[in-house]
Amino acid sequence: MSRLSAIKPAYWISGVLLTAAVVVPLLVPTYAKKDPHLWGFPFFYWYQLLWVFLSAILVSISYRLVRAEERKRRAAQGLGDAEKEDGQ
């Protein structure tokens, strides 16, 4: 069994979400235009602002997926609950 196949799907999903949050805003042809306008703002501005919020959502989803997977891993190893140790 390779090490790559031992990686849980939650980590793959998180990686894809985080990659999308970083790479898509860097693809200049997706936003290098003036039209359509939204409330008087050119496409460039509201598209970039939209990705700020989308990236925050994607990072939040990734965090929750990884945190849940880590809880399962710690429980399987008998290490207890990390939140109780952190005081949360």
pLDDT band at 88 (very low <50, low <70, confident <90, very high): low
Q: Hey, where are the domains in the chain?
A: 4-86
Summarised one tens digit per residue, pLDDT across range 25-66 is: 888 888 777 778 778 888 888 888 889 999 999 999 999 998
User: With helix as H, strand as E and coil as C, how does the chain read?
Assistant: CCCHHHCCHHHHHHHHHHHHHHHHHHCHHHCCCCCCCECCECHHHHHHHHHHHHHHHHHHHHHHHHHHHHHHHHHHHCCCCHHHHHCC
